[in-house]
A and B are shown apart, each in its own frame.
Chain A
Amino acid sequence: MAYQIQKLNRFIANNPALADIPFGIVRGRSITPREALAMLQRGEAVSEVVAAMSSAGMDPIEQDWALVEDYYRRLLQLPGPRPKIYTFGQPEMTIENALAHVIAKDAKGQELLRSYQALTREMARRMK
């Protein structure tokens, strides 16, 4: 466990932008690297947290839908100004719009999911 704590400490120090991104589900709720570290330090759900860390970026699709939804909900709680999401050819998207697409699991929601999955794979790579 000390090794996992060390890994998470190093990850958070080197990747502050990724410290509060949900990457796994433990006991029915999504957790971020910072929350995982706090749980390990408290000795809470240790084996589940370690399992979530080792399967980060490789979660089942239903779990990823829950994670990406939580991710956009967390973004909505951050201070403004909130960026908009732009592409060539489609109307700009607010974070509220993005969350609505994710909840609807429509075509745009699926693209948002895929890009979020790539983000969690990058987190997993950096967590190793």
Chain B
Amino acid sequence: MPMADVALFARPLFDKATSYAHYYMDLAAEYAARNMRVIDLDGSGATKSNIFATLEREDPIFCYLNGHGNADTYSAQNKEVVMQTCHGDESLIGRVVLLLSCSCGIRLAQSAVSKGATTVFGWTVDFTWIATEDAATDPYAQGFFEAVNAISDALAYGKTTQEAMNLSQATWNKWIDYWTSSVDPYASACIQWLIHDRDGQKLFGSTSARVTTPAPPPPEFGKVPLPLPLITGYALSLLFF
């Protein structure tokens, strides 16, 4: 029986794509650590052996895993295969899993649930985003990863899996609305992929599971500030009232 209040984060770092998830998952891990015990396998620590050792030893109820993947495979640091539909996914029995990887929602997530995982959040599409700069400063990438982190943030403060899903969908929509009203020349490309990832995000398994008892979230902590144009827009709108 997995341990409530314990979370595992696995965030590889070995190419440009993983650098974005690595940065944003760090924010989510810090946020979760205010209310749960977090084991953070970071960069070269995000290996198959470390992940399985942590599942065995710490028995976390919540796992937030990033890496490359496809319909049948999740991999971690340096594309080391961690689990596939044929084996490895049975290690998720009784756990709530956020699998931030391409297309794992097509088969792997469902396979894990069929073997006893409580809930798996996954994507039935290749999770896609656009960016021009590094993770910490890129204006386009923020919305994509904030919408995913909304799941982790909600679960870490006692929301159910369905509530976490709803909050995430609301975050996707907030960012779609934000970019729709933007005059940035590439806003449409951002909207295109926000819609793609929002619609490809699926919840498999239990909709009523929790990983911890409900607690009030710390205000503002862990949230990425709204981009300056949005703040400026709000401020300007106040001038007319």
Q: Residues on A close to B: CB < 8 A?
A: 14-18, 20-21, 71, 75, 78-79, 81-90, 92, 95, 111, 114-116, 118-119, 122, 126
Are B125 and A122 within 8 A (Cβ)? no
Set of chain B residues within 8 Å of A82, measured between Cβ atoms: 132, 186
23 A–B contacts, CB within 8 A, in A order: A14-B180, A14-B181, A15-B180, A15-B181, A17-B179, A17-B187, A21-B188, A83-B131, A83-B140, A85-B129, A85-B189, A87-B127, A88-B101, A88-B126, A88-B127, A89-B101, A90-B102, A95-B189, A111-B125, A118-B196, A119-B188, A119-B192, A119-B195
Judge whether B106 is part of the interface by a CB distance below 8 angstroms. Answer: no
**CA A55 – CA B101 in complex, angstroms?**
35
Judge whether B119 is part of the interface by a CB distance below 8 angstroms. Answer: no
Interface locus among B14-22, B24-32, B50-58, B83-91: B14-22
Judge whether B182 is part of the interface by a CB distance below 8 angstroms. Answer: yes
Option from A18, A86, A88, A111 in Cβ contact (under 8 Å) with B180 = A18
Give the secondary structure class of B's interface. mixed
Range of interface residues on chain B? 35 or more
Option from A20, A84, A114, A119 in Cβ contact (under 8 Å) with B191 = A119
Inter-chain residue pair count (beta carbon < 8 A): 106
Instruction: Rank and list the top 7 A-B pairs by shortest CB-CB distance, nearest first.
Output: A17-B187, A89-B68, A83-B130, A78-B185, A115-B196, A87-B126, A119-B192
**CA A15 – CA B176 in complex, angstroms?**
11
Are B132 and A17 within 8 A (Cβ)? no
Set of chain A residues within 8 Å of B67, measured between Cβ atoms: 88
Are A83 and B127 within 8 A (Cβ)? no
Besides A15-B180, A71-B188, A118-B195, 9 other CB < 8 A contacts? A16-B183, A17-B180, A17-B181, A17-B187, A88-B17, A88-B101, A118-B192, A119-B188, A119-B195
The smallest beta-carbon distance between B174 and chain A, in angstroms, is: 14
Are A17 and B128 within 8 A (Cβ)? no
Q: Which of B140, B179, B191 has the most CB of A within 10 A?
A: B191
**CA A57 – CA B184 in complex, angstroms?**
23
